[in-house]
A and B are shown apart, each in its own frame.
Chain A
Amino acid sequence: MTSTVPAQTGNGVAQVSVNPLRAGIESNRITEPCTIVFFGASGDLFKRMLMPAIYNLRLNDILPANFGLIGFARTAYTDQQFRDYCKQCVDEFSRSKPVKESLWNDLAQRISYITANFDDTAHFETLAKRLEEYEQQFGAGHNRLYYLATPPSVFPKIVAQLKKAKLDPEHSPNGWSRIIVEKPFGTDLASAQALQAEVEKVFNESQVYRIDHYLGKETVQDIMALRFANTIFEPIWTRNYVQSVQITAAETLGVENRGGYYDNAGALRDMIQNHVMNLLALVAMEPPASSDADAIRNEKYKVFSAIEPPSPEQVFQMSVRGQYDAGTIGGEAVPAYRSEPDVRPDSNTETFAALRLNINNWRWAGVPFYLRSGKRLARKVSEIAITFSPIPHRLFGEKSDTIEQNVLVIKIQPDEGISLRFNAKVPGQKNHIRSVTMDFNYGTGFGVQSAPAYERLIADAMRGDATLFTRWDAVERAWEIVMPVLEVWQSIKDRSFPNYAAGSEGPQAAHTLNPGWRPL
């Protein structure tokens, strides 16, 4: 009645039973039981993103039936106080408001909290006991997902404590243990390598899920669908037809309440090294052999390995930095970066970074990839623009007509969609040519609202699907690429700072690096 099929496991090929009732029924539900432990559960990320994501996963019946959640942080809460806090997080930040009481009551009984000091092994032993109780009480099995939603400085400490308390994979033979690590993974190459050294003492690479929430966005996932589920784009996706690629992640917001963190990070570390580089990899990678996580991640790594990091002498030709001054956004006056809370008044931190990178392989040799990211810019927009080569010979159009190059724009946020610019004849006796656009918009095209990235990523980590997470070799290589820029910028103070007004297109020098930036 139940049939069996061969399945690949860590130990070779085993027989697993197939549920005959599953045929023809699509389900997103995660089947394996699991307890998720949130380190840093009293923090901002948990409040705004993670707890609302967990609730929505339950609301959409994606969480496994046997599920538990344990919060672990410094702030003193009782279990009931923490449950109330979680409910408040959902009420305030969930996309599905208000909380469905009946569902909440079921979820709340699976939530508990440990007031803890990350230095104290005894608190991790309490966690071990709690996990055992969950396994009895909720049938959560021995599958554990640890989520590090803490400042990066305590990542190594938590990982080491998990081992001491025998909560590491080696001491969990009856289930899996995985760890989700929030960005930034290190603050430079050396610190990332040091962190990795600590992590790999306890978890092997297949158990580490380095989260970059950009990769969980539907439109980012659609980059691969656009390229590899269509035949019309891939043949022209090469140096023979593409003149340049621009990747923009621009924000109108300033540093908000993250001045302390941001002033030690800057745009290069905060956005370029991770989010923007990941977008570059998706645009530039070769078609993977399969949709398997490692097949995709191998191709992404190959892109990074084909990028030659700039030499210190090249840094100023290949990069531009900026810092915002006071200005006006949306009709409202906003302060200069150096006047933001927790920012040093003489700060040399960049709030704008632009790079030109070259990918030295057969597909992309000679095609510049322009990357830019900044705060307090004219418009909030994240997009990838592929500009195709000009026509080789002009046949149409009056002399006064500009024949514009074709541009394919993958719009990531706030609009989600794809736009193609091409030229068309203006109706009439004359042969005027004008550029027009063909637009696809996710919202109107499918009539659905995309789920927040964290929902997809947490569910994927529970399923053991690492496709949308960054592998260590890619993280390390991305650091290697940006390190020369980081080092030169750190060693040479930019005396022109602040060099762009809030609400503007960024520093003037960015237009020297690339005169063809798309307007914000």
Chain B
Amino acid sequence: MSPIDVGGLLEELESDRRDRGGISTISLNVVAFVENDEALLHWLAESSDEFAEAHGFRIIVLDASSQPVTHSVRTHYKECNDTLMTSLEQVQLGVKGISANELRSVVHDLLHPNVRNVLLWGGEHLSDERFSALADFSQRVIIASSRRTSGLQALREVVQLADTHVVERVRDTSYMRLLPWQDLIAQFFDEPDLAEELPNLSRISVASGSEAEAYYLAAWLAGRLGWNPCGHLQFCDASGRPVRVDFRKKGDPRRIRGIELQAAQCTFGISVSPDADDLICLTVNGRKQRPVHCVPLHDVDIVSLVERAIFSPDDGGVYLETLGVLRKLLEFSA
């Protein structure tokens, strides 16, 4: 028999809602699994109210470091046209020592019915049985591969997901954080004259606080341009011409500071402005030189990143393609 009184927890939620008029805006379940990470637990507690202002949701926080006797229930309301509405229902449970199957059953019973389920995975390993058990009933699975380590081990675990049926539902916030940089790279080649240089790229240089970002970016670029990994940090295009990837450690972990793409006739540069940390400048030097163009760097906060991970539409298979390339690239980096 489970030490967790699911019925009692549901009754607590129901009674609280009844006392406040019974109206709720809950339209989403978030299951957050947290293991040995006080900071993440703290962040969840702090951010839930903010998130609930935009999206009513029930969050079930599974604290894998605490015993099952520990639990708490909390609700948050917002007022709209003089009516109180429950916008957040939070249940926090200690789940240390609970088996994967039992966890699946408990969580399943605690979910708000008929709404979308999202798993926010803050466990140690993606190979954990509890990950598969919880991912099973989740329409979206959010991971943060670089949360614990900036090394390549986290990426190796992510690429293993490609063998599972979960992979199409996975969003890695570490990859999503690269989206503004991908957009800036793409921006060069929106111009037809510069797009002619795409087949002539010969070197990619990434300056960032950790290596994983360089791998992710390079794998994305290679996937899009049809290059295959053919050596340590090296790709070959369809004709066998090599494209080299250079990584230079600079700045804080998980943050990119600059990217340079070397083509036959010009060099494309994206870098944080030396004058202001919140500005990114794009340069094209060489035969097709262009005026320097600077754009603001919108540092996306974690709540917004998670929001995007939950609601962003499918990317047409680009992430899966990136994982495929990344897997081969990592094989050369063993």
Residues of A within 8 A of B (CB): 1-2, 16-17, 19-25, 27, 29, 31, 58-59, 61, 65-66, 100-103, 105-106, 137-139, 437, 439, 441, 444, 446-448
Question: CA A332 – CA B27 in complex, angstroms?
Answer: 44
0/1 string, B168-194, CB within 8 A of A gives 1: 000000000001001101110111100
By the criterion CB–CB under 8 Å, are A101 and B319 in contact? no
By the criterion CB–CB under 8 Å, are A2 and B296 in contact? no
Which of B36-44, B246-254, B273-281 forms contacts with chain A?
A: B273-281
Which of B58-66, B130-138, B218-226 forms contacts with chain A?
A: B218-226
Question: CA A65 – CA B188 in complex, angstroms?
Answer: 10
| Residues in chain A near residue B196, CB distance under 8 A | 2
Are A24 and B80 also in contact (CB < 8 A) when A106-B279, A448-B54 are?
no
Residue of A21, A59, A66, A441 with most chain B CB atoms under a 10 A cut-off? A21
By the criterion CB–CB under 8 Å, are A61 and B296 in contact? yes
By the criterion CB–CB under 8 Å, are B185 and A23 in contact? no
Chain B interface size band reads: 35 or more
Q: What residue of chain B has the Cβ atom nearest to residue A22's Cβ?
A: B186
Instruction: Determine how close the nearest CB of chain A comes to the CB of B177; give it in whole angstroms.
Output: 14
| Residues in chain A near residue B279, CB distance under 8 A | 102-103, 106
A-B residue pairs in contact (CB < 8 Å), sample of 11: A2-B198, A16-B192, A19-B186, A19-B190, A22-B186, A24-B319, A27-B186, A66-B293, A102-B278, A105-B275, A138-B291
Q: Which of B54, B192, B296, B319 interacts with A446 by CB under 8 Å? A: B54
By the criterion CB–CB under 8 Å, are A17 and B291 in contact? no
Other CB < 8 Å A-B pairs besides A65-B293, A439-B80, 17 of them?
A: A1-B226, A19-B186, A21-B221, A21-B224, A22-B190, A24-B315, A25-B182, A25-B183, A25-B186, A27-B186, A31-B191, A61-B296, A100-B278, A103-B294, A439-B81, A439-B83, A444-B78
Are A17 and B275 also in contact (CB < 8 A) when A65-B187, A66-B293, A447-B53 are?
no
Question: CA A25 – CA B191 in complex, angstroms?
Answer: 16
User: Can you list the 4 inter-chain pairs with the closest CB atoms, starting with the nearest?
Assistant: A447-B54, A102-B276, A24-B315, A24-B318
By the criterion CB–CB under 8 Å, are B278 and A25 in contact? no
| Residues in chain B near residue A139, CB distance under 8 A | 290-291
| Residues in chain B near residue A441, CB distance under 8 A | 80-81
By the criterion CB–CB under 8 Å, are A17 and B192 in contact? yes
Question: CA A102 – CA B297 in complex, angstroms?
Answer: 11
Question: CA A138 – CA B195 in complex, angstroms?
Answer: 19
Q: Is B55 an interface residue (CB 8 A)?
A: yes
| Residues in chain A near residue B115, CB distance under 8 A | none
| Residues in chain B near residue A16, CB distance under 8 A | 192
Residue of A1, A101, A103 with most chain B CB atoms under a 10 A cut-off? A1
| Residues in chain A near residue B80, CB distance under 8 A | 439, 441, 444
Residue of B83, B179, B186, B226 with most chain A CB atoms under a 10 A cut-off? B186
Question: CA A21 – CA B199 in complex, angstroms?
Answer: 12
Instruction: Determine how close the nearest CB of chain B comes to the CB of A29; give it in whole angstroms.
Output: 7
| Residues in chain B near residue A21, CB distance under 8 A | 182, 185-186, 189, 198, 221, 224-225
By the criterion CB–CB under 8 Å, are B186 and A101 in contact? no
Q: Is B7 an interface residue (CB 8 A)?
A: no
| Residues in chain A near residue B316, CB distance under 8 A | 23-24
Q: Which of B183, B195, B224, B225 interacts with A17 by CB under 8 Å? A: B195
Instruction: Determine how close the nearest CB of chain A comes to the CB of B4; give it in whole angstroms.
Output: 32
Instruction: Determine how close the nearest CB of chain B comes to the CB of A62; give it in whole angstroms.
Output: 10
Instruction: Determine how close the nearest CB of chain A comes to the CB of B217; give it in whole angstroms.
Output: 11
Instruction: Determine how close the nearest CB of chain B comes to the CB of A89; give it in whole angstroms.
Output: 19
Q: What residue of chain B has the Cβ atom nearest to residue A419's Cβ?
A: B81
Instruction: Determine how close the nearest CB of chain B comes to the CB of A33; give it in whole angstroms.
Output: 9
| Residues in chain B near residue A100, CB distance under 8 A | 278, 296
Question: CA A339 – CA B306 in complex, angstroms?
Answer: 56
Q: Which of A19, A27, A102, A439 interacts with B273 by CB under 8 Å? A: A102
| Residues in chain A near residue B294, CB distance under 8 A | 102-103, 106
By the criterion CB–CB under 8 Å, are B195 and A27 in contact? no
Q: Is B282 an interface residue (CB 8 A)?
A: yes
- CB-contacts of B291-319 with A (<8 A): 291, 293-296, 298, 315-319
Question: CA A17 – CA B191 in complex, angstroms?
Answer: 9
- CB-contacts of B261-293 with A (<8 A): 273, 275-276, 278-279, 282, 290-291, 293
| Residues in chain B near residue A22, CB distance under 8 A | 186, 190
Instruction: Determine how close the nearest CB of chain A comes to the CB of B185; give it in whole angstroms.
Output: 6
Question: CA A117 – CA B78 in complex, angstroms?
Answer: 56
By the criterion CB–CB under 8 Å, are A447 and B186 in contact? no
| Residues in chain A near residue B199, CB distance under 8 A | 1
| Residues in chain B near residue A29, CB distance under 8 A | 183, 187
Question: CA A1 – CA B223 in complex, angstroms?
Answer: 11
Question: CA A23 – CA B196 in complex, angstroms?
Answer: 17
| Residues in chain A near residue B185, CB distance under 8 A | 21
Q: What residue of chain B has the Cβ atom nearest to residue A103's Cβ?
A: B296
Q: Which of B183, B192, B198, B319 interacts with A20 by CB under 8 Å? A: B198
Instruction: Determine how close the nearest CB of chain B comes to the CB of A2; give it in whole angstroms.
Output: 5
Question: CA A65 – CA B123 in complex, angstroms?
Answer: 42
| Residues in chain A near residue B315, CB distance under 8 A | 23-25
Question: CA A27 – CA B187 in complex, angstroms?
Answer: 9
Q: Which of A1, A23, A24, A61 interacts with B198 by CB under 8 Å? A: A1
| Residues in chain B near residue A25, CB distance under 8 A | 179, 182-183, 186, 315
